[in-house]
Amino acid sequence: MHRDVLRGRPGPRDLPRAAAHLPLVGAGRLPLADGPGRPAVPARPAPGEAGKVVTAVSSGILDAAQQVFEQYGARRANVEDVAKVAGISRSTLYRAYPTKEALLQAVLDREIDVFFDQLDTLASDLPPRQAVIECFTAGIALTREIPLLARLVETEPEIITGVGGSPHSSTVLGSAHRVAQTLRRSGATMPEHELHVVAELMLRIAYTYMLNPLGSVDMTDDVQVRAYAERYLASLVY
């Protein structure tokens, strides 16, 4: 399933780069936490709320940086190329992003934000276990179709490993929190801590398969991915 099908928008280079946001349909299944033992249903984040609020200049910088990183990879890319594509001076770029590493992290953060916006939209109006199946299947496919991620996984996997490898990675923990919120809005009633543990577990499984998709299950085959999610992951959520 291509990311633009889920997004319902033009291709990945069109601006603004944000997923479509649909009204929350499934939140009515759970009451708000107005009594003991009732899990709160998190409000759906406003467009771009999970990511950094950027000015028109910094948004243009990120668009240019993404284009350069996709074309050359992280190692070969340089800030001079980014400044040239963005139509700004190097000093302007450095004021916004002092290092190439900070620039790459900002681009990745934006891609991750869009990625989870799409999955959150996909999960709307689905019960929690079905949301697990659909989002895991679509998520695995999307990681292959996002040009920057596909480029890094193929040529510079150590960068992806570095982003998620730390046991206290803010990227992993923040992403797990978003997964947990999506499942809660889909109707999950399990305790909050348990929901976060399961969300992180599923995220780390997906992360491992993103780096190495071939094994007992071929994670490049949507049919096998769906069967895997249905058999092993969906039952973890209630």
Among 222, 184, 208, 226, which residue's Cα sits nearest to residue 38?
Answer: 184
Cα–Cα distance for residue pair 80/68, rounded to 1 Å: 10
**Tens of pLDDT, residues 90-113:** 999 999 999 999 999 999 999 999
Give the Å distances, CA to CA, from 100 to 11, 72, 130. 26, 13, 40
Domain edges within the chain: 52-98, 108-238
The three-class DSSP label of residue 222 is: helix
Tell me the average pLDDT across 111-128: 96
pLDDT band at 40 (very low <50, low <70, confident <90, very high): low
Cα–Cα distance for residue pair 209/219, rounded to 1 Å: 7
Tokens 């889909």, residue located? 186
Structure tokens at 3: 């990311």
Cα–Cα distance for residue pair 189/193, rounded to 1 Å: 11
Tell me the average pLDDT across 111-117: 95
8 Å CB contact between 184 and 195: yes
Distant-in-sequence, close-in-space partners of 98: CB < 8 Å, separation ≥ 6: none
Tell me the average pLDDT across 19-47: 45
Q: What is the pLDDT of residue 158?
A: 87
* N residues, the chain: 238
How much helix, strand and coil, in percent to the nearest 5, is found in the chain? 65, 0, 35
Tell me the average pLDDT across 197-201: 97
3.40.50.300, 3.20.20.480, 1.10.10.60, 1.20.1050.10: CATH of 52-98: 1.10.10.60
Cis omega (within 30 of 0) for bond into 47: no
